[in-house]
Chain A
Amino acid sequence: MSALEAPIKFASEGHSRGYYIRTVIFFAFLVFLYGPIIVIGILSFQGEQGSLMFPIRGASLIWFQDVFNPVYAGDFRAPFVRSIVLALIVMVITTLVSFLAGLAFRRGFKGSSLVFYLVIVSLIAPPFLISFGLGIGFTSIGLTSQWWSGGLGAHLTWTLPFGVLIMFAIFSRLDHSIEEAAQDQGATRWQRLRYVIIPIVAPGILAVALFGFTLSYDEFSRSSLVTGTGNTLPVEMVTVRGTAARPSLYAVGTMTTIFSLLIITGTFLSLYILDKRRGLLTGGRVMESENYPKKQGASAPAAE
């Protein structure tokens, strides 16, 4: 009776005071989140007299040139190249290994719980211990860990848990009946993989690639002791912060952040295009998840 008299309009009710408070908190958080990085962006454009602190002294591009100047301590060119190469290798390995692991978890196997816990341990293990153990481990077998050996391994212990958990989530939402339908129509195992599964989980694969690349590109803690003679960019930045800190530190921070933002934008653009094309090809959504249509691993940053 009363429900009929006053129809439920949960979503469009007038805004309460709480709503305004939460709006303020949310946008204040965005300022808190982006403010510092914007400020060091501004400080990178200081003049010659510039320091790490305010006030801003003059305006110039010299700190960006400084980044590429081999005369000063903290030449960031080689670390930058190393970080990109390493991130690409980590991305490829993470994507492949996570995809295969996703297939395995989907089929199910004895000991799958154990492997799942192993992945969780990889996520929560103290980063310094991994670095420490890897470094000593390499030394004890007569080798020196380098960024492409121990460093690569250290990065994988960080990127693989995210990759595997994303793939796990994607595959657990994938309807078995689609595959069975393909099987009924005579598709071989390989055809089912190539023409049914991969196209459906493609956005998830792209998301894993993004995680693999960016998490490796920015990784410091796990690889800090095992990059050997060639530092990666984050390791170099922390080293420089400890010794010869000049505003070029901010300049390189600004550049690497812009680089990351370009990668992220590119990935999301590809995801968007992929989504559009899929919509055209299938005339609908193949993988509808629960209550809200856009929910896919790609839009969720952490492995929920």
Chain B
Amino acid sequence: METEQTVLGRFGAYLQITPLVLILLTFLIAPMVVILLYSLFKFGPFATQIGVFVIDNYVRSLSFDSATWPALADTIRTTAITWAITLVLGFVLTYYLVFDIIQLRIKILLFLLAVVPFWTSGVVRMIAWLPFLGKEGLINGSLIGLGITDEPLQFLLFSDFAVILSYVHVLTLFMVAPLFNVMARIDLRLIEAAKDQGAKGWQILLYIIIPLSRPGIAIGTIFIVALTASDFVAVRLLSGGTSGTLATSVFNQYAQSRYPLSAASGIILLIILLLFVGGIMRLVDIRKQL
């Protein structure tokens, strides 16, 4: 009886997972296979030669003087800066919510206030920076009004500054949420015990809170890195397309109908991301953290 049910249960589980697998195979894996194929098609002299397989696009992308390397460096720089800011900021915000706010109602209210924009439009929130950053924008207006500068700062709009600002704006809550999940589970008695033993504030932070927050940091890092490194929207809206990240060059090559080159750069970006996330998942068992 019991075994019969288990057999039925196993079979049922396969039925239940089928829709998910079918959807992801059709709309995720199949497109990736298409991209992989395109990255191997010969490009030129006039158009993409579908069905003619060559390795040239990769050779070209990975050659010594290829534009891939500066683009990759730019991606790593932008991602690292965004990651560092969202990590520190996210950590302070979460620490405040978890340890400084004592009343549960206020804790929940402030947490919700900090994360509600997650469910609103990212495009709108990027566009919303336009009135701040322009030549006649609020920031320049205030700086001139206060007499800090005489001329409007040019770097505010259409620059890396604008792009990173909008990443921090849109993505910090991807760090706050997983951090909150692990930090709120830290047993307060651990901290009390450490205090009894004479631990100072920074020692509690360094030896208890940060180590126990590592899984949250890992999950937040996956989100921030994946979303920043592959973004091409903020770049388009706020940097005027001047930014030179790898994701932008994938987009630009596509826009110039150089599909195989775009696909090859895209596959390189995908592989880098998969390796990075795979590495983090080896360090932290995400399934246990859910």
Contact residues of A with B, CB < 8 Å?
3, 8, 10-12, 16, 18-19, 22-23, 25-26, 29-30, 32-34, 36-37, 39-40, 43, 52-55, 93, 96-98, 100-101, 103-105, 107-109, 112, 115-116, 118-130, 132-134, 136-137, 140, 150, 153-154, 156-157, 160, 164-165, 168-169, 172, 210-211, 214-215, 217-218, 220-221, 234, 237-238, 241-242, 249-250, 253, 256-257, 260-261, 263-264, 268, 290-295, 299-304
B188 neighbours in A (Cβ, 8 Å): 10-11
Q: Are B192 and A8 in contact, with the CB atoms below 8 A?
A: yes
Complexed CA–CA distance, A257 and B13 (Å): 39
Q: Whose C-beta in chain A lies nearest to the C-beta of B172? A: A29
Which residues of B have CB within 8 Å of A32? Answer: 169
B20 engages A160 (CB within 8 Å): yes
For B35, B95, B115, B263, the residue with the greatest tally of chain A CB atoms inside 10 Å of its CB is B35
Task: Fill in one digit per residue for B124-145: 1 if any A CB lies within 8 Å of its CB, else 0.
Answer: 1101111110111110010000
Cβ contact of A165, chosen from B30, B32, B290, cutoff 8 A: B290
Let me know if B123 and A234 touch, CB within 8 A: yes
Asked if residues A11 and B222 are in contact (CB atoms below 8 Å), the reply is: no
Restricting to B96-121, which residues have a CB under 8 Å from any CB of A? 96-97, 100, 102, 104, 108, 110-121
A to B CB contacts below 8 Å, 5 in the list: A33-B117, A132-B35, A253-B127, A260-B119, A264-B116
Main secondary structure of the interface of B (DSSP, over half): helix
Judging by beta carbons under 8 Å apart, are A8 and B196 in contact?
yes
CB-CB under 8 A from B13, the residues of chain A are 103-104, 107-109
Name the residue of chain A whose CB is nearest to the CB of B290. A169
Which residues of B are found within 8 Å of A261, using beta-carbon distances?
116, 120
B side interface size, CB within 8 A: 109
- Shortest A111–chain B CB gap in Å is 8
In the complex, which residues of chain A have a beta carbon less than 8 angstroms from the beta carbon of B250?
Answer: 126, 128-129, 132
Interface SS majority for chain A? helix
* Distance between Cα atoms of A105 and B136 in the complex (Å): 55
B23 touches A97 (CB 8 A): yes
Q: Is the CB of B32 within 8 A of A299?
A: no
Over the window 21-35 of chain B, the binary record of Cβ atoms lying under 8 Å from chain A Cβ atoms (1 yes, 0 no) is 101101111111111
**Stretch from B52-60, B64-72, B224-232 forming part of the interface with A:** B224-232
For residue A41, give the distance in angstroms from its CB to the closest CB of chain B: 9
Residues in chain A near residue B117, CB distance under 8 A: 33-34, 37
Whether A157 lies near B28 (C-beta < 8 A) is yes
Residues of A within 8 A of B77 (CB): none
Partner of A157, one of B10, B24, B108: B24
- Give the shortest distance, in Å, between A150 (CB) and chain B (any CB): 8
* Further pairs besides A36-B169, A119-B20: 19, Cβ < 8 Å: A22-B92, A36-B128, A40-B131, A53-B134, A54-B136, A54-B137, A101-B16, A101-B19, A115-B20, A118-B29, A120-B286, A129-B35, A134-B31, A220-B233, A260-B120, A292-B104, A293-B104, A302-B173, A304-B216
